[in-house]
């Protein structure tokens, strides 16, 4: 396909790719201090927060892979994009405290709530997590660029791809910091959305599909066991069990959107609490679009290819390029635009990872332990040097661990296992804001022991529980990572609670730190709100079971119930017009997400 790029496609591709670093470099030319470099001067508006969060969260491999999974498995992959519970947790529990404290890093929050050891452990864990992910991003990004441009005049080697990613991201990140990143992330988001929506439009427009509604009819005409437009698989499914989705995967979403420096740094950089909330909610709507233009396009590709090519077996990893070749009109620049969007997405996560890790190393290590009295100039110099070292290290390791089969790369396998560390981090944050007695020592142990619990849970399941037929029938013969995350979260919670209770009174629990968060604490209100939300949905589910009606019949009622939970709080807030109230948009996001849960059951 790419060897047939027309002149207009090449022109569009080059022009669009030049926009991104050019915008970042222009911003980078402005004079920087510590706050503008690491947090864009805490002055970004909600639309930039939304674009940056989405661009940080999505990569080209993500978009291409989602479409391929839609082709091979189906709509169930959408659960990775339905993140409204995690977004609500950030917006209405953690966000006000984070911003009131004027934090640069989330580890500072743990020091205020607990002690400096909890802060240090978080910093070390997050830097390691980000570094491994950064190496994986360079590895996958370079292979993706090779794949996208193979056979064209832009064909590159794996080594060239690594250097290209490093040079382009450093061209604006090294000097511009967060200020350049949020601008380029927003541009990348627009380019990704344009690429994804173009592919979806032309795919659904094919006569064999007949639009999105035509796809639903086409899928419904198949036997139930082979239909793809459904969200739930059995609890013993090896990859996407419904029981894991509403436990471990939900917890992973909460980690990413509430306690992960990598993503929450955009919220810390917002110009106001209102902009922060609206931006993160808007990013939730953008993520909710992905199932409909990426995953559903993969499902449409399955039926389209079957109609045109018979029973020919296509590798799901190649679905995206085969689909572009099949449905996108040639010679009008659309192919160039799509390739530009995917190329931009390759850079969108890398620059954010670099900035997040640098912020942690600079603020939590350099200014905390190495040079507490460092000037702005010294701090910026260290931050830029750290970015350069991390990029060079990531390129070197990605190059040394290269294998032609991207699924067997060591660092990709390690990256896939990073969820061993996340439950302990979540426990430290959640109990820190919910429970006055939560102890700093206990929080540190919960974070340190989480991976031990994860490995132990897998070992016990593999050698004993997983051999029991009755348990196999429920949870499969291998423990899915989502179930393991849920088990680890419970064990880490028990560790924190148990060790906290061993100390008499409030010794070690830092009640002063808890009180500093108290004026903005809305956690218990949020828990009450969540309880009502869940109770209403349980009533509908029981009605569905009792009547035997399909879940789709309850989609509207589920959405209305979700929206209705917010109505009293929206009406109570008289300080601004309803259309300016972030609760309204939180209600709409929740209602839309719940509708998806029911309609595609």
161-216 residue pLDDT tens = 899 888 888 888 888 888 888 888 888 888 888 888 999 999 999 999 999 999 99
CATH class of the structural domain 35-93+152-350: mainly alpha
Predicted local confidence at residue 505, as pLDDT: 64
Predicted local confidence at residue 158, as pLDDT: 86
195-206 residue pLDDT tens = 889 999 999 999
Predicted local confidence at residue 339, as pLDDT: 81
Question: How far apart are alpha carbons 303 and 68 in whole angstroms?
Answer: 13
Predicted local confidence at residue 200, as pLDDT: 92
- Residues linked to residue 241 through DSSP beta bridges, in sequence order: 233
Buried b (16+ CB within 10 A) or exposed e, 432-460: bbeeebbbbbbbbbbbebbbebbeebbee
Predicted local confidence at residue 351, as pLDDT: 82
Burial class (CB in 10 A: 0-12, 13-18, 19+), 401: middle
Q: Which residues, at least 6 apart from 583, have a Cβ–Cβ distance to it below 8 Å?
A: 566, 569, 570, 573
pTM check: above 0.85 = yes
366-409 residue pLDDT tens = 999 999 888 888 988 998 899 999 999 989 988 888 776 655 55
Predicted local confidence at residue 1, as pLDDT: 45
What single string gives the DSSP state of each residue in 487-514? HHHHHHHHHHHHHHHHSSTTTTT-HHHH
Contact 195, 341 (CB under 8 A): yes
Predicted local confidence at residue 20, as pLDDT: 74
Residue of 229, 256, 586 lying closest to 421 (CA atoms)? 256
Q: Which residues of the chain, if any, have pLDDT below 70? A: 1-6, 28, 31, 61, 151-153, 311-314, 404-416, 505-508, 517-525
Predicted local confidence at residue 564, as pLDDT: 93
Instruction: Give residue limits of the domains in the chain.
Output: 35-93+152-350, 417-514, 523-599
């Amino acid at each position: 396909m790419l060897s047939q790029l027309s002149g207009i496609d090449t022109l569009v591709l080059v022009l669009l790719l030049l926009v991104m670093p050019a915008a970042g470099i222009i911003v980078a030319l402005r004079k920087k201090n510590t706050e503008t470099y690491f947090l864009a001067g805490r002055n970004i508006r909600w639309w930039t927060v939304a674009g940056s969060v989405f661009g940080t969260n999505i990569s080209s491999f993500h978009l291409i892979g989602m479409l391929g999974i839609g082709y091979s498995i189906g709509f169930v992959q959408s659960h990775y994009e339905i993140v409204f519970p995690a977004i609500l947790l950030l917006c209405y529990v953690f966000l006000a405290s984070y911003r009131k404290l004027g934090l640069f890093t989330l580890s500072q929050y743990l020091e205020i709530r607990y002690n400096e050891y909890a802060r240090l452990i978080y910093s070390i864990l997050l830097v390691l997590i980000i570094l491994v992910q950064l190496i994986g991003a360079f590895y996958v990004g370079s292979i993706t660029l090779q794949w996208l441009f193979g056979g064209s005049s832009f064909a590159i080697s794996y080594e060239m791809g690594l250097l290209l990613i490093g040079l382009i991201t450093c061209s604006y990140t090294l000097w511009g910091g967060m200020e350049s990143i949020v601008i380029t992330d927003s541009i990348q988001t627009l380019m990704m959305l344009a690429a994804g929506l173009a592919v979806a439009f032309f795919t659904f427009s094919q006569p064999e599909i007949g639009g999105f509604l035509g796809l639903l009819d086409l899928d419904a005409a198949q036997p139930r066991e082979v239909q793809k437009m459904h969200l739930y698989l059995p609890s013993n499914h090896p990859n996407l069990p419904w029981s894991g989705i509403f436990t471990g995967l939900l917890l992973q979403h909460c980690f990413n959107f509430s306690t992960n420096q990598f993503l929450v740094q955009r919220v810390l950089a917002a110009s106001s609490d209102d902009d922060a909330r609206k931006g993160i909610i808007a990013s939730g709507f953008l993520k909710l679009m992905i199932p409909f233009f990426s995953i559903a396009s993969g499902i449409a590709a399955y039926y389209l290819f079957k109609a045109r090519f018979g029973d020919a077996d296509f590798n799901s990893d190649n679905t995206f390029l085969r689909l572009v070749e099949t449905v996108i009109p040639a010679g009008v620049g659309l192919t160039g635009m799509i390739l530009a969007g995917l190329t931009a997405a390759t850079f969108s996560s890398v620059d954010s990872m670099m900035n997040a890790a640098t912020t942690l190393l600079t603020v939590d290590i350099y200014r905390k332990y190495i040079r507490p009295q460092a000037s702005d100039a010294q701090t910026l110099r260290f931050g830029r040097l750290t970015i350069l070292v991390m990029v060079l290290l990531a390129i070197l390791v990605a190059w040394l661990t290269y294998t032609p089969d991207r699924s067997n790369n060591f660092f990709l396998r390690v990256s896939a296992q990073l969820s061993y560390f996340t439950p302990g981090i979540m426990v430290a944050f959640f109990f820190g804001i919910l429970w006055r007695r939560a102890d700093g020592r206990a929080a540190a142990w919960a974070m340190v022991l989480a991976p031990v619990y994860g490995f132990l849970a897998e070992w016990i399941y593999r050698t004993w529980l997983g051999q029991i037929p009755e348990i196999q029938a429920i949870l499969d013969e291998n423990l899915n990572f989502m179930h393991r995350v849920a088990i680890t979260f419970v064990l880490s919670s028990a560790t924190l609670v148990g060790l906290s209770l061993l100390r008499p009174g409030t010794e070690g629990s830092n009640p002063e730190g808890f009180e500093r968060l108290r004026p903005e604490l809305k956690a218990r209100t949020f828990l009450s709100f969540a309880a009502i939300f869940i109770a209403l949905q349980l009533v509908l589910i029981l009605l569905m079971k009792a009547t035997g009606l399909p879940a789709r019949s309850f989609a509207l009622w589920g959405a209305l119930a979700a929206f209705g939970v917010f109505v009293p709080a929206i009406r109570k807030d008289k300080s601004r017009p309803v259309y300016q109230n972030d609760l309204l948009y939180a209600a709409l996001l929740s209602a839309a997400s719940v509708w998806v849960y029911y309609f595609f059951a």
